[in-house]
Amino acid sequence: MPPPPTLPAYVQWAKQQTMEHLRASKHGKTPNKHLLIVMGNDAGDLDSAASAMGLSYLLAHDAKLRAKYHLGDDANVVPLLQTPRDDLEDRSENVLVYDMLGISREDILCIDDLGVSIHHSTYLSPEQNVSLGLVDHPLLTPAWGGAKEDPHERQVDVIVDHHEEQGAHLDAKLRIIRSPSNDPVGSTASLVSNLFHDSGNTPPHALADLLLSAIVLDTKNVVMLPKGKASAVDLAAYKFLLPHSSFKTATSAASFVSEAQERLSNLANAAGVVYDTSTHATKHETTAVWSKLLRQVKANVAHLDTHGLLARDMKIADVHTSQGKVRFGISSVPLSLSAWLSGAYRQHAKPHDTTDAAVEQEWRRCWVTMHAWMQERGLDIAVVLPSFKEMHNGKLKSRRDFAMLYAAPQGGKAFADVLAELEAWGKPGSLAPSATFLDLRPWRGQRLIRGERERVHGLGADGQVQIPTAAPIYGTVLRQGNTNANRKVVQPALVRILKYIL
């Protein structure tokens, strides 16, 4: 059965083909038809989901393109989201887009639908005629075995990504990596869109909307470098997709956004929220309101507790050091720590002034929850990157914080050394003197306690977290002065530092 032409029908078909392939393998039959699973990253953001669906759709429908990259003349190409089905609702911006495009969430292939151990199962191996594609990440995640996975167990044939080059899976047949350090691209969906253009293909209407939504969300409606994240690649993709989308005219765009606003009331985080869709855009006007609306929906995380906030946008990586494997997770959270600790975000309120006793209890609860989270996910290090805006001298300013909990080898000494290298990162004499400077400073919260701004609680003088644990763990919370240094900057920095220290 050939893949259907419409995106919703294709997504449904892809899940069916995958489950039939796995059923055959489980019954001891090696499927005749090759299965190429194109997966997004483990954070599961809109760019990741759109890129997985977009690239798999393109390769599934264009036999000549598959032949060009030796991906199989008669292959089924399917998208996979590395998000458990029950967690799909955590990303309300994704859910809104799926609903607008007629994609049933039940039809999306999620990681737990596979029903096998993705790390060790032979059902996902080349022996069972399965290979893998990666979008929005440059190497297999630890759940799949990571960069050191045996090629006889996992075969990576495709990589399309805009993160730092990791030197992994160098034999992938289609391999496009645009590293932010030397060739930045705002969205992986832009790279996928340009593959459509370069191969002479036109995405169907719903797929054009999906890819365009990811691009305008990630680039804040194509704000160009250096002020924004968009590059010439993103702009070219935007211009290519626009005529095929719901945003080709002001009238069609207004109709699309109007319907989206009606659907907002069905989202898990919709209660008590008023979205501001006013805009004074002078460029890319037809997508300006949609970009702003998506960003607001994404930033509204009132429906999530601390566990949900940590899980919603997290990536896990393994670092192989002389001390053995160190696993860390980095969670991006669109909140200030003060709003998070106080729970004010759940009432859509600003953090209010508080007392020493209240803040001590809040910080203790936070450290306990983060430590439990580390144990649940098997992490040696947990990093949280809160980002938010606050008023300063009458202007709304972007802010970033940096929090880390450390339970890796060599304890307090290694923690202190790692922290010192992070603070020096990008400075002359550091491990990476030409890298992006993080500008880490002492943390001060938004709340006042006895007339002074809140400070970190629950840490000893050496950074040891003051909660009962089987072995000492260490923590820090800092203000990050460079608000442009996101996870794409912090993660490779931490990898290099851990390899150096440990």
| pLDDT band at residue 120 using 50, 70 and 90 as cut-offs | confident
d(CA 380, CA 329): 8
Which residues on adjacent β-strands are paired with residue 437? none
Q: What is the 3-state secondary structure (H, E, C) of 446-480?
A: CCEECCEECCCCCECCCCEECCCCCCCCEEEEEEE
Q: Which two tokens stand for residue 320?
A: 């192989």
**At 269, which amino acid appears?**
N
Using the predicted structure, report yes or no on whether residue 483 has a pLDDT greater than 80: yes
Instruction: Please tell me the distance from the alpha carbon of residue 137 to that of residue 230, in angstroms, as a whole number.
Output: 18
Three-state SS sequence of 144-196? HCCCCCCCCCCCEEEEEECCCCCCCCCCCCEEEECCCCCCCCCCHHHHHHHHH
Average pLDDT over residues 181-198: 96
**The one-letter amino acid at 164:** E
pLDDT tens figures, 363-403 = 999 999 999 999 999 999 999 999 998 888 888 889 999 99
Those residues whose C-beta lies under 8 Å from the C-beta of residue 144, and which sit 6 or more positions away, are: 118, 119, 132, 154
pLDDT in tens, 194-233: 999 999 999 999 999 999 999 999 999 999 998 899 999 9
Q: Using CA atoms, how far apart are residues 122 and 401, in angstroms rounded to an integer?
A: 42
| pLDDT(256) > 70 | yes
pLDDT at residue 149 greater than cutoff 60? no
The whole-chain average pLDDT of the chain stands at 91
Domains present along the chain, CATH in parentheses: 7-299 (3.90.1640.10), 306-501 (3.10.310.20)
Average pLDDT of the segment spanning 443-463: 89
For 323-342, b where at least 16 C-beta lie within 10 A, e where not — what string? eeebbbbbbbbbbbbbbbbb
Residue 76 per-residue DSSP state:
E
pLDDT tens-digit map of 290-326: 999 999 999 888 888 888 899 999 999 999 998 889 9
| H/E segment holding residue 77 | strand 75-80
